[in-house]
Amino acid sequence: MKIGIVGCKGRVGTLLVNEILAGNWKGATLAGGTVLPEDMKGKSDFFITTDAEELFKKSDVVIDFTSPTATRKHAKLAAKHKKALIVGTTGLSPADEKELAVAAKNTVIVQSANFSVGVNVLLALVERGAASLDEDFDIEIFEAHHKNKVDAPSGTALALGKSAASGRKVDLKKAADYARHGETGKRKRGKIGFSVARGGDVVGDHRVFFYGEGERVELSHIATNRSLFARGAIRAALWTKGKKSGLYSMKDILGL
C-alpha cells in the first residue's frame, strides 16, 4: 500500500517516514508527504508537496497527526478521492468528529486518540473495570505530557473518561470534573475526575484510579518512545485494505 504522511516533518510525521523507509513493514511503501511552504527547501529522498490534494491522489491511505483545522480539510479530501485516512490528531471537537463521521460515509477512516496498542488495551480494561466497580468506587484519571503539548486533558485521557463513562452507562459530559480550585466542597458521587501535568519531555503517562473504601485499583500506561504511535498508525493503515467505508477505531483493528 502506498502511504502518504501529511505533516511529514512534524514530531510524529518524521517517525512515520522513518518507519516506512526503514522497510520495517511488509507491503508498505511511502507515497510522499506534505510540508508547510517554509519547510519546502533542500532535497528529499521522497515526494514532498505543500498541496495535500496532490498527496491524496498519489496515496492509497494517508496518515494524519496534524491539527484539527487541517484534519477537517483532509477528511473532505479523503472522501472526495475515496482514499483511506488514519487520524491521530488530538484536540478534536465534537464538530470535528462529526466531520469525520460524514466523510466516513464515502471512505474508510480510522480515528483514535492514541494508536498505542497498550493504551487501547487499557481503554478496554477501564470500561470493564468501571462496569464491575459501582459508584462506591470514585474514578480519577491522571495524565502527564511534555511541556509543548497544547491541549488538556489529552485526547487519550478523554478517551479513558469515555471508556469509564461507557462502563458506568453515564454521559461523560455530565459526569466529568475537569477542574478543582478553592473551596470545592465534598466530592460528588459518580463524578469522573481529571488531573493534568505538563513538563519536560514526558512522552505520555496515563493512570486511572478506582478509589474504594479500604482499597483502590490502579490501571496505567506509560509511553517511553513516540515510535509506538507511528507503529500503531502504520498497522492501522495496512488494516484498511479492502475494508468497507465507515468510521473505525483501534478497537476494530485489535478485535477488542
pLDDT in tens, 182-227: 999 999 999 999 999 999 999 999 999 999 999 999 999 999 998 9
Average pLDDT in the chain: 95
Q: Higher pLDDT residue, 100 or 24?
A: 100
Please name the residues in contact with 220: beta carbons below 8 A apart, sequence gap of 6 or more.
122, 205, 206, 207, 208
Which residue in the list 58, 81, 146, 149 is annotated as catalytic?
149
Tell me what percent of the residues of the chain surpass a pLDDT of 70.
100
Note if 43 is an active site residue. no
Task: Give me the pLDDT at residue 256, please.
Answer: 83
Task: Give me the pLDDT at residue 40, please.
Answer: 84
Which residue in the list 74, 145, 162, 206 is annotated as catalytic?
145
Cα–Cα distance measured from residue 66 to residue 5, given in angstroms and rounded to the nearest whole number = 10
82 C-beta neighbours (distance < 10 Å), count: 11
Domains defined along the chain, listed by start: 2-111+226-254 (3.40.50.720), 117-223 (3.30.360.10)
pLDDT-derived band of residue 22, with 50, 70 and 90 as boundaries?
Answer: very high
Give long-range contacts, CB 8 A cutoff, 24+ apart: 82-85.
82/106, 82/107, 83/56, 83/59, 83/107, 84/60, 84/108, 84/109, 84/110, 84/237, 84/240, 84/243, 85/61, 85/109, 85/110
Note if 145 is an active site residue. yes
Please report, as a single letter, which amino acid is at residue 206. Answer: H
31-47: pLDDT as tens digits: 999 999 888 887 788 99
pTM here? 0.82
Task: Give me the pLDDT at residue 42, please.
Answer: 75
